[in-house]
Structure 1
Amino acid sequence: MQTYYQFYWNKIDEESIRILRIFGESEDVIVPETIGGRAVMEAGDYCFAASKHLPSEYECTVCIYDTEEKKWQEIPADGADWNTRLVELSGDRLKKVTLPDNMHKVGNYAFYNCTALEMLETGKYLEEIGSDAFMNCKKFHFLTVRCDVGERSGANQILSRISADMEVTFQGKTGQTAVFYPEYYESYDEIAPAHIFGRSIEGEGFRARQCFKEGVPDLSQYDTIFPKACAEEKENTLLHILSLRLRYPVSLTDEAKERYVAHLREQELYIIPKLVGQKNMERITFFCENGWITQAAVKAGLEQASRMEWAEGTAELLHLQRKYFTEQKKERYSFDELW
């Protein structure tokens, strides 16, 4: 399948450019590594914002992206065949944006009022984030960074601009790791009569965002927030934290693992029906495989699936019940048992 794009851009220098505006056919936007032989290094101010702020001078390039071969081709900009199909990819027309590996900067208000944006994918070199770059991106909860979790990246810079729930996935050569950073709230209270304002922060999401060392996630430090989170956060937040840490146990100590598993077992009659409601059988299966939940939790999940009239989920839960909790019939008997 081929997708057409029209890129407005200007030069940073002779070897690199800045993207200013994009027109295209899909709400899932992909930005190429190069345009006109120059590296795409920046997304300019208001690049994807609902309101347009183009400079007086810019250039335009039309490209075709082959989604199967993942190759770009530049074509003349005067073709009438594609021109009527393209729309401005900004504001509420964006759901996912994939930025190139060599992009290192996102400008001020770059995604301002992108109210439908859900996911951003970047390379590891994006480390400069402009002022209010993600303001009013109310559905933006998923970030993917193309690097190993042990590599330096700009993930902490992006997280520092967003106080909402955010699931960050690191995809590198050694595999995939995902970490959940919960929402937090900031407020400022005036301390009268001196007109001094005190900053107040609620939620462990702020502390979780501090768990980086020189741009690399410090997951051992991240695990230390869980005991306090248990006292302050909602159960759904705790489920998200522990599920990803158990699923991707990078730098997970035995002590931290025991805390997560203990909480899972304490709350299993809430957690498993909740996962059934989300139709997340992959996670329930993972818990069963590791022996972290009981048959009572699976039965609670079956009751939830029945209320939902979810036949597929019911069948999978019955399979898990038979596989992990049904006692096997004896094939041999002692002499005493026969008498």
Structure 2
Amino acid sequence: METVSGVNNWKLVIRREAAGVTVLRAVTCDESAALPETLFGLPVTALGDHALAPGAPAVPGEAVQFTCGPLPGEDGWDNRRLKALTLPRHLRRVGDYALLNCGGLERLRLWDDVEFWGGGALMNCQKLDTFHLTRTGEDQGESLAYFADELSRELDVTVVTAAGETARLLFPEFLEVYEENCPAHHFDYNIYGAGYPYHHCFRHKKLSLKDYDGLWRGCLAMEHESGTALRLAFWRMRYPLELSEQAATAYGSYLQSRAAEAVDWLLAERDMAGLAFLLNRTAPDRDTLAAACQRAREAGAAEAVALLLEEQHRRFPAGGNRSFDL
């Protein structure tokens, strides 16, 4: 096995081809890892079937080990512990069941150039809900449509365009349930939650942000988690890529009506930039600001306390409500 210095620890089995390298097997001992962009001067262009699946059978190929420091024993190499994975820049193909049973995986970062996703590539990735896609050109890839179709849970997706613009999109959860109908001797198929239209609003596997925003009114009319709706509205306002004035007004009205809940969420996240943005857009009332200041003090969030006090003093200056009888 050839050993190479790298930024992460990997044991790889690869196959060199004319167009690039296929990773046939890959296992890491790191919780956060990025697969190599190139190997032996060739771009990594494909992941084979079961490439990162824990316990997958051995395959013939060229063995390579990447190291970035002291290595654990054999028991430490297990992709079930992998929480965050970055895929190579030139990856074009992901084989069948490539990430099967990566049960600890939560975040996937990739370029939006993958042309083929194999069957069951994300099967049993039960915690995977956060994606970061970077586009390299004007055309949108099909990866987001694949994720939304494969995973019915709530998805948190960040998209960065080739021009460097950012959108952050939430796809609410939905459940598909077969319920026994005893009198009729059959099963009824039911869908619960507001997420189904969001997960299936792609046209020819491309997402239109106009269509995405057009689902908002229907989302509020259906069964939905208030926290999910709040985050969806906030992220669309925070990163308003292709956001129409009409959609911005609708999202803004919702945030305005739930300003106290939004402040609490951002305090819990310690997101000071987001909190400043929210205060500027929703102008919470005096009681909401006072309550938020108290919670920030209790949490020891000094920066948040300073920000909230500044907002209080700016909008409700001391003595501003005094009156005198003559």
Task: Identify the TM-score tier after normalising by the shorter chain.
Answer: 0.7 to 0.9
Q: Is 1:104 the counterpart of 2:104 in the alignment?
A: no
Unaligned residue ranges in structure 2 (runs of 5+) = 1-5, 321-325
TM-score by length of 1: 0.80
| Structure 1 position 254 matched with structure 2 position 245 | yes
Deviations 1:223-253 (A, max 9, x none): 1222222232111001110011101112222
Equivalent of residue 245 in structure 1, options 236, 241, 258 = 236
Deviation at 1:266, TM superposition (A): 1.4
Taking the aligned partners of 1:309 and 1:82, their CA distance within structure 2 comes to: 37
1:211 is the counterpart of 2:201: yes
Partner residue, 1:58? 61
Which stretch of the first structure deviates more once superposed, 236-245 or 152-161? Answer: 152-161
Change (3 A) 1:150 1:230: farther
1:6 is aligned to 2:14: no
TM-score of the superposition, structure 2-length normalised? 0.83
Report matched runs for 1:287-326 at 5 Å.
287-323=278-314, 325-326=315-316
List per-residue Cα deviations over 1:139-170 (Å, max 9, x = no partner): 22210111179631121112211111111111
Pair 51,256 (structure 1): closer, same or farther in 2 beyond 3 Å: same
CA distance 1:269–1:47, change in 2 (3 Å)? same
For 2:191, the equivalent position in structure 1 comes to 201
Task: Give the Å deviation of 1:190.
Answer: 5.6
Q: Distance in 2 between matches of 1:46 and 1:98?
A: 17
Which amino acid in 2 is paired with 1:289? Answer: N
Residues 84 and 311 (structure 1), Cα distance of their counterparts in 2 relative to 1, 3 Å cut: closer
Number of the residue aligned with 1:166? 155
| Contact preservation (8 Å) 1:5, 1:86 | no
User: What is the aligned partner in structure 2 of residue 336 from structure 1?
Assistant: none
- 2:270 is aligned, of 246, 271, 279, to 279
Q: Deviation of residue 205 (structure 1)?
A: 1.8
- Inter-partner Cα distance in structure 1 for 2:131 and 2:111: 11
- Whole-Å separation in 1 of the counterparts to 2:206 and 2:295: 40
Shift of 1:24: 4.3
Matching residue's letter, 2:139 = E
Tell whether the 8 Å contact from 1:148 to 1:170 is kept in structure 2 after alignment.
Answer: no
- Say whether the 8 Å CA contact 1:19–1:40 is kept in structure 2: yes
> Which residue, out of 198, 218, 239, partners 1:228?
218
With over 3 angstroms needed to count, the CA separation of the structure-2 counterparts of 1:14 and 1:270, relative to structure 1, is closer
Change (3 A) 1:136 1:24: closer
Provide the residue aligned with 1:27 in structure 2: 31
**Pairs within 5 Å for 1:119-138:** 119-138=107-126
One of 95, 99, 114 as aligned partner of 2:83: 95
Q: Is the 8 A contact 2:25 2:52 kept in 1?
A: yes
SS in 1 for 2:150: coil
Aligned to 1:71: none
SS at match of 1:108: coil
Could you say what secondary structure the match of 1:103 adopts? coil
Quote the residue 2:3 is aligned against. Answer: none
Over the residues paired in the alignment, what is the CA RMSD in angstroms?
3.2
Aligned length: 314
Task: Name the SS of the counterpart of 1:140 in structure 2.
Answer: coil
Q: Distance in 2 between matches of 1:82 and 1:265?
A: 52
TM-superposed deviation, 1:193: 8.8
Give yes or no for contact 2:27–2:52 (8 Å, CA) kept in 1: no
* Offset at residue 200 of structure 1 (A): 2.2
Q: CA deviation digits over 1:45-71, x for unaligned, max 9?
A: 22222222222x211124467xxxxxx
Matches of 1:297 and 1:158 in 2, distance apart?
A: 38
2:323 alignment partner in structure 1: none
Could you say what secondary structure the match of 1:157 adopts?
A: helix
> CA separation in 2, counterparts of 1:2 and 1:137?
24
Q: Which amino acid aligns with 1:186?
A: E
SS of residue in 2 equivalent to 1:188: strand
Residue 45 of structure 2 is aligned to residue 41 of structure 1: yes
For 2:306, the aligned partner's letter is: A
Q: Deviations over 1:30-58 (max 9, x none)?
A: 12233234432222222222222222x21
Q: 1:107 to 1:261 in 2, by over 3 A?
A: same
Q: What is the letter of the counterpart of residue 48 of structure 1?
A: L
| Corresponding residue to 1:145 among 127, 133, 144 | 133
Contact 1:211-1:219 within 8 A present in 2 as well: no
1:229 & 1:148 partners in 2: Cα distance? 31
Are 2:178 and 2:190, in contact at CA under 8 Å, matched by a contact in 1? Answer: yes
For the 8 Å contact 1:48–1:112, the answer to whether it is kept is yes
